[in-house]
């Protein structure tokens, strides 16, 4: 412990715990304050029981040592804000040449997760202009997905996560489906698998087990929640269409057959489906119902919501 800090402890002006924290806030180090943000410790003046910090909005701001120790978070040299303050030119170059490394550093500096807004906040105005940021992020997001090291949420408001070491994107997609307990959660997870189906290196081994699960869920939900049965079958068909190595495990479980079995309930089922899936069902009416499909379609139009009129 610093000799002067030890004297403050002995005099009762500083607790031993605060003195330990103060050791991490020596001149030249960087820190964060919850109100004033990022700063650099510029001076210790322990005779006056103070340390001095340069914040962006408060230059040469003195703080009592006990308060500073309790309210400042010291930053490691590899923290993104510290690196940026030490060598902005280097960070600008890195953003152009290795954008994934920049995002990794920011995410790690924020504890392993960061929203797009947080990433932008640390880059815009000094590393990138507002216009550059938008272009940079669109291209960088693709690189992040391709790297497999990040979990990229569908919504920008949700945080980006660093994946656990050894966990691939496909592993994460499979785990997400397996953890889902509600049908809607399973369908959402399944849609992500379909979206990224090309990333599966051994699709028959990795995805074939899901086909049986999907088909069983469709059968299980048909009686009480036929709209879910339609969603499962449409998703199953999408997956089979994109991955030719996969095969159905339930011969005869088709969209056309489901339409026939649920023909009388279509009027109540269709409004519960997302628009794109409702359209898929309507497009399948001719093959499912044959010549009488036009009559059924007319009945559906007359007794349904306005959205269907534009779908047929």
The mean pLDDT value for 188-201 works out to 91
What are 156-171's pLDDT values in tens digits? 889 998 876 656 778 8
Stretch(es) of the chain classified as CATH 2.30.30: 3-75
Percent of the chain with pLDDT over 70: 91
pLDDT score of 3: 67
Q: Look at residue 75 and tell me whether its pLDDT is greater than 80.
A: yes
Q: Look at residue 147 and tell me whether its pLDDT is greater than 70.
A: yes
Q: Which of 172, 39, 150 is nearest to 103 (CA)?
A: 150
Q: Which CATH architecture has domain 3-75?
A: Roll (2.30)
What are 85-115's pLDDT values in tens digits? 999 999 999 999 999 999 999 999 999 999 9
Q: Look at residue 80 and tell me whether its pLDDT is greater than 80.
A: yes
pLDDT score of 117: 95
Identity of the highest mean pLDDT range in 131-140, 159-168, 301-310? 131-140
pLDDT score of 312: 53
Q: Look at residue 248 and tell me whether its pLDDT is greater than 90.
A: yes
Q: Residue 48: which pLDDT band, with cuts at 50, 70 and 90?
A: confident
Cα 311 to Cα 31: distance, rounded to the nearest angstrom: 58
Q: Look at residue 308 and tell me whether its pLDDT is greater than 70.
A: no
3-state secondary structure the chain: CCHHHHHHHHCCCCCHHHHHHHCCCCCCCEEEECCCEEEEEEEEEHHHCEEEEEECCCCCEEEEHHHHHHHEEEECCCCHHHHHHHCHHHHHHHHHHCHHHHHHHHHHHCCCEECHHHHHHHHECCCECHHHHHHHHHHHHHHHHHHCCEECCCCCCCCEEECCCCCCHHHHHHHHHHHCCCHHHHHHHHHHHHHCHHHCCCHHHHHHHHHHHHHHHHHHHHCCCHHHHHHHHHHHHHHHHHCCCCCCCCCCCCHHHHHHHCHHHHHHHHHHCCHHHHHHHHHCHHHHHHHHHHHHHHHHHHHCCCHHHHHC
pLDDT score of 1: 56
Give ∠ CA 38-39-45 in degrees, rounded to 5: 155
The mean pLDDT value for 122-128 works out to 95
Q: Which of 67, 74, 73 is nearest to 14 (CA)?
A: 67
pTM, full prediction: 0.58
pLDDT score of 53: 95
Q: What is the mean pLDDT of the chain?
A: 89
More confident residue, 65 or 13: 65
Q: Look at residue 60 and tell me whether its pLDDT is greater than 70.
A: yes
The mean pLDDT value for 202-224 works out to 94
Q: Residue 310: which pLDDT band, with cuts at 50, 70 and 90?
A: low
Q: Which of 158, 163, 84 is nearest to 117 (CA)?
A: 158
List b or e across 191-215, with b for residues whose CB sees 16 or more CB atoms inside 10 angstroms.
Answer: eebbeebebbeebeebbeebbebbb
pLDDT score of 21: 85
pLDDT score of 306: 54
pLDDT score of 47: 78
pLDDT score of 311: 56
């Amino acid at each position: 412990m610093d000799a002067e800090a030890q004297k403050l402890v002995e005099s009762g002006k500083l607790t031993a715990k605060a003195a330990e924290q103060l050791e991490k806030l020596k001149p030249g180090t960087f820190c964060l304050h919850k109100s004033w943000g990022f700063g650099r410790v510029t001076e210790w003046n322990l005779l006056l029981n103070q340390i001095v910090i340069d914040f962006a909005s408060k230059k040469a701001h003195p703080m009592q040592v006990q308060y500073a120790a309790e309210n400042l978070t010291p930053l490691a040299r590899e923290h993104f804000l510290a690196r940026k303050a030490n060598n902005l030119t280097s960070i600008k170059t890195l953003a152009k040449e290795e954008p994934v490394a920049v995002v990794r550093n920011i995410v790690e500096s924020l504890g392993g997760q960061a929203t797009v807004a947080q990433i932008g906040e640390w880059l815009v105005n000094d590393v990138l202009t507002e216009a550059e940021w938008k272009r940079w992020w669109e291209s960088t997001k693709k690189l992040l997905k391709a790297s497999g090291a990040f979990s990229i949420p569908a919504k920008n408001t949700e945080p980006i996560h660093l994946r656990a070491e050894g966990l691939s994107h496909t592993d994460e997609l499979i785990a997400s489906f397996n953890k889902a307990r509600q049908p809607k959660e399973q369908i959402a997870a399944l849609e992500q698998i379909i979206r990224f189906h090309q990333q599966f290196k051994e699709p028959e081994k990795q995805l074939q087990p899901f086909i049986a699960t999907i088909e069983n869920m469709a059968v299980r939900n048909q009686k009480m929640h036929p709209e879910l049965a339609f969603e499962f079958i449409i998703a199953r068909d999408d997956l089979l269409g994109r991955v030719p190595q996969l095969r159905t495990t339930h011969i005869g479980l088709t969209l056309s057959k489901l339409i026939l079995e649920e023909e009388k309930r279509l009027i109540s089922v269709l409004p519960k489906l997302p628009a794109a899936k409702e359209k898929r069902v309507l497009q399948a009416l001719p093959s499912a119902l044959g010549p009488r499909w036009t009559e059924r379609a007319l009945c559906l139009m007359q007794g349904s919501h306005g959205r269907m009129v534009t779908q047929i």
